Amino acid sequence: MPYAKALILNCKMKKKLQIAIVTNIAWNIYNFRRGLAAAIRNEGYEPVLMAAYDEYAEKLEEEGWKFVAVESMERTGINPLRDVALLKELINLYKTHEIGVALHYNAKPLVYASLAATYLNIPSIPSITGLAGPFSGNRLLISKIVTFLYTLALKKSHKVVFQNTEDREFFLDKKITQREKTVMIEGSGVNMKLFNSDLFGTPPVDKTVFLMFSRLSKAKGVEYYIEAAREIKAKYKNVEFKLAGPFDSDKLALSKEDVDAWHKEGIITYLGVSDFIQKEISESHIIVYPSYYREGVPKSLIESAAMSRPIITTDNVGCREVVQDGVNGFLVPIKDGKALAEACEKFMLMNEREKAALGKASRQIAIDRFDEEKVLKKYIELINECSPVLKNVNVAV
């Protein structure tokens, strides 16, 4: 029986529509997409979580989610043989698990999961969560290849979700997609009830605590954070710079040896990986995020804003979506450790009333623009739009 015809039969039998959420690694789903999975389940659909297997896959399974490992998934690189294998595997997984609608995140799933959905005539909703990697730096050939792949992959998608207007305009300028297919959804959203500073402790009163949390990649600006920390700690004693996050695996990844050396030197306090980041945020006065990576809208920034924390970040794509300079924090140029240190010192010299005003503004920005309930409602609306598409699908595939 053709795949699309089987899906229609399942709908008539009142079987729950299977909705795939596909990312590169399970860590991404665990940290960014569980709220979406819960909203899909609450709507009466069945979420199927797909990604490369890691330790967070076990956490998802322990929580009762249906997790499917994608064995051919790699985060980066273009290897034709591996990529063909990934495409074939995704087609087989979509058939096996009777996927009716698919949501795709990150570069690899965005291309190959979307192509698999197109082949099977499954409505897909890819989300552009940043344009680093092949679209940044002097990588003209790679950029052309990826532009072609994106154009091909997104051609039959139901809609294409963007987190910021600059990324959308980039795709439109490159003619990768059409304006009428684009939808703006600002970030992944944040649970305003769980990320609420009133539920947690407060920072120490005898020192100023800075916190940076992200993947430990050079592209996130960790080295500029270290540079700023050195400069500030040379001038002030009552200050601490904390760093939290997992080690990365790409070519810009920081080594464990480097981080251990900074920790032993006393420049930073490395906290490791935290699955309860609210505690770390609550024990800090201000969040620092000096990324020069081309972001969508960084989850760490909207979580920090929800926790009523001032933020120092770069005047960079995605980052400036959350921070208004002088309103809820400060924007600094990318790759500028000195400017970052100046912003840190500027915060330290503010009085408590001024600092509190920055934090209050952060919380209001999060409520107005990044409340998870608003974000998830938009995704559910897109999924619901796809159900009539499924009923009228051409079964001759």
Residue 332 sits in a domain of what CATH number?
Answer: 3.40.50.2000
Q: What does the alpha-carbon distance between residue 360 and residue 306 come to, in Å, rounded to a whole number? A: 9
- For residues 27 and 126, membership in a common domain is answered with yes
Q: How much is the average pLDDT of 123-136?
A: 81
Is the pLDDT at 92 greater than 60? The verdict is yes
Sort 94 into a burial class: Cβ within 10 Å, 0-12 / 13-18 / 19+: buried
- For residues 310 and 358, membership in a common domain is answered with yes
* 18 is a domain residue: yes
* 397 is a domain residue: no
Q: Where are the alpha helices (DSSP H) in 180-336?
A: 222-235, 256-265, 277-282, 299-306
Is the pLDDT at 38 greater than 70? The verdict is yes
- For residues 273 and 140, membership in a common domain is answered with no
* 208 is a domain residue: yes
Is the pLDDT at 2 greater than 80? The verdict is no
- pLDDT score, position 146: 85
Contacts with 169 (C-beta within 8 Å, 6 or more apart), sequence order:
none
Structure tokens at 49: 């979580």
Is the pLDDT at 75 greater than 70? The verdict is no
Report the mean per-residue pLDDT for the chain.
91
Is the pLDDT at 37 greater than 90? The verdict is yes
- For residues 139 and 229, membership in a common domain is answered with no
* 396 is a domain residue: no
- For residues 245 and 296, membership in a common domain is answered with yes
DSSP-derived secondary structure for 136-152: SSS-HHHHHHHHHHHHH
- For residues 242 and 376, membership in a common domain is answered with no
**Is 7 or 250 the better-scoring residue by pLDDT?**
250
- For residues 142 and 221, membership in a common domain is answered with no
- For residues 360 and 382, membership in a common domain is answered with no
- For residues 110 and 176, membership in a common domain is answered with yes
- For residues 147 and 232, membership in a common domain is answered with no
Band of residue 249 on the pLDDT scale cut at 50, 70, 90: confident
Domain count, the chain: 2
- pLDDT score, position 396: 34
Sign, Cα dihedral of 36, 37, 38, 42 = positive
**pLDDT tens digits for range 194-242:** 999 999 999 999 999 999 999 999 999 999 999 999 999 999 999 999 9
* 125 is a domain residue: yes
Which residue range is the domain that position 337 belongs to? 197-369
Band of residue 248 on the pLDDT scale cut at 50, 70, 90: confident
Task: Name residue, tokens 């920790």.
Answer: 263
Band of residue 382 on the pLDDT scale cut at 50, 70, 90: very high
* 264 is a domain residue: yes
Question: pTM, whole model, 2 decimals?
Answer: 0.88
- For residues 18 and 121, membership in a common domain is answered with yes
- For residues 226 and 360, membership in a common domain is answered with yes
**pLDDT tens digits for range 300-323:** 999 999 999 999 999 999 999 999
